[in-house]
Structure 1
Amino acid sequence: MFRLPFLFIATGLACFALFDILTLSQAAAWIAHPPRTPSGWFHVHLLVLGWATMIAMGAVYQLIHVVLQKEIFSRKLGYVHYAAFTAGTAGLLAGFVVSSVVWIAVFAVLAWIGIVLFTVNIAMTLFRAAVWNPITLSTAGALGCLVLTGTLGLTMGLNFGFNLWPEWHERLLHAHIWIGTLGWFGLLITGFSYKMLPMFYLAHGVSDRTPYTVLILWTASVLTGAIAFLTAAPGFVLIVPVALLTSAVCVYNVYVSRVRKARHKKSPGAGIAAVVISTRALAAFCTLALLYMLAQPARAMDERMIVIAGWAYLWGWVGLTILGYLSKIVPFLWWTHKYGPLVGKKKIPTMGDLLEDRYVAYGLAAIAISLLSLIAGLLLGQNSLIEWSGAALSFVSLVYVMFIGRVFAR
């Protein structure tokens, strides 16, 4: 199972490096501009599809085997999925660069086909295993949100190109963003964390009740938010899904605390510590966002606030969580592939020898500080601070991902 996850993870790391290089080459100027431009769409989709979703898909192929102790439904289908999704994403990004509606439409369909193939492959794996718990249920929910996100994006593209339902464009856009960020990434990360956090902390006997509560609250937030956007409900109605999300994140933090209390390993490593810290920060941010919406309901859809929320959620939690888990997943994949067959036959390095933990700590700390500075710049509307912080974030992220990539040369 090494090659299939490796393809996705390596491609995702390459896209992440490309994103950082392009941002540095522009001195992060695109961040200071309104996001709804071809340049904004290009960078956002490169980060979300090319990096985060690509990495997530590779991680699912690897971790679903660990969770279920069964092979995936079809490896061949996995390779077809990789080809379709990668080609579709590359073409879609090129379409944004040349501002070609035809390119965007054609390659969006190809990327959507890749998403459907991935969903079918993992769904069949889940149904064949017939093991239903918070991990598999969260995964199933995330898959449904991924397909729905892709479908909404495709519909939005057709609507934009042919002006079929102009009054629906804003509704589709907001629902596309909400379901993709909260549904796909949120349910997937929390779901697999129910396996990975106890595993890395060596925690045993943690109850499943809290994860079920998180799943119900998080799913309710995704659904109510999607309905509010699609029905063009007044801004104050969004307080309900945000309140549900805040409750879900707070309960999820309770679960994380219980895992840490039940641990038999004092330190799981800097990457996992960063995952926990980002989870605490997400709870604080959601609480502040909810209080802000209660105080200023008319500004719930203010573009600047949405952009800040996007950076805080996608980079501050999704991004740091992925980067933190990669510090464990990449060495495990490579060590198992290269050194696993040599165990007991010759002297081999340990997994810890492949990636020095203190450098992981330095890299993630630098990323977090740069991100906080960028969010401060966005909040204050200071373009110079935005550009300097965005460039710093891209630089330290590029160094970090190169450091992770070095594992494959060990």
Structure 2
Amino acid sequence: MAPNNASVSSGTGTVCEHAVRRAAELLEGAVLKTPCLPAPRLSELTGADVFVKYENMQVTGSFKERGALIKLLSLPETEKSRGVIAMSAGNHAQGVARHAQRLGIPATIVMPVLTPFVKIASTRSFGANVILAGDTVDEAKAEADRISAQEGLVWVHPFDDPHVVNGQGTVGLEMLSDVPNLETLVVPIGGGGLIAGVATAAKAVNPAIDIVGVETVLYPGMWGHFYGKDVRCEGASIAEGIAVRDFGQLTRKIVKDTVDDIILAKESTIERAINLYLTYQRTIAEGAGAAGLAALLTDPERFRGRRVGLVLCGGNIDPRLVSSIVIRELARDGRLVSVRIDTPDRPGVLGEIAGIIGGLKGNVVDVAHHRLFLNVPAKGATLDVTFEAFDAQHGTEIVDALRTKGYTVRHLDVTESIEQ
């Protein structure tokens, strides 16, 4: 555990409590001081006393503009006039673009081709020159390196820069200012800039505070470094904001010195956390933003009875993805049921089936009638029916009632049924 006056230096600056507090002064009035509020329903669910820091309320929807602004303010006028370049899958891009526009600094942002459109559009709306290059963050970075060398643009790194880390650390200062008796902070880890800054600030204020990081199972890079394990980072993650193969040299040292534990969350658990933020807290969390809550769901006993602060670090998620997650979670909970029913092709069958479902208080939301499937008798048909139920037991009662009436009923994947 780092002492109160711990600091880490690099060639371009120092990460320490004093620098984080100075960053907080510079951010005053330029970024929102987002609320850190109690979350009683999440507390009841997890067994911890949960508080949520709503960084999704920032103008760009993410904490990233804190570090981006501190970096931009640190540049001499000659570098500002040349312009800056950044590589990002979205949130850092928007932070750099917004504050570069405010400060009159030309900004070029290189983003992977597969970046969600909502993030590309938002970055362009802040006046940045957006270039799409490569399928991965690494390929986008290679293109940004080439452009930077060719045009003499100044790099604004998304995490491995002391100015950026100090800016992100203001999140921790604000949390402990609003809720001084927090015992644990749970912070998502991508490149490590957020958790490095938060841990530096929080440990300075309260050396006994527990700092827990969270990564996805698919991208456990910092976890592997922290515990000395060989890991593989690959796959399509719903938490693309923390799907990082190469974390920072500066941040890895700070994490090793100040962080107490790192938890790995599965994709399905992150999906559940996104849905819980929407349904319990009435707020939008992207995958990375929901990772802290996913950590509590992954290992509830570790946090039970403790006063826990979660950093909801971003809310930039494609609305279509949110819709898909809500449907999938309803299906997992047994509240949205999709079945295929073999029926005789005669009048009144559809009404009878609807009557059985409705009579048991189920709500039919989608019906597809098939006569041309080759595995259906010429005088038969199939019905794909999706209905709402109160819970899994209620859905089972409705299916059992259909079978009691003589129908052959098979369960289908809900999302597949609705898309057909």
Larger of the two Rg values belongs to structure: 2
In the superposition, the TM-score normalised over structure 2's length comes to: 0.26
Greater share of helix residues, 1 or 2? 1
Provide TM-score, normalisation by structure 1. 0.26
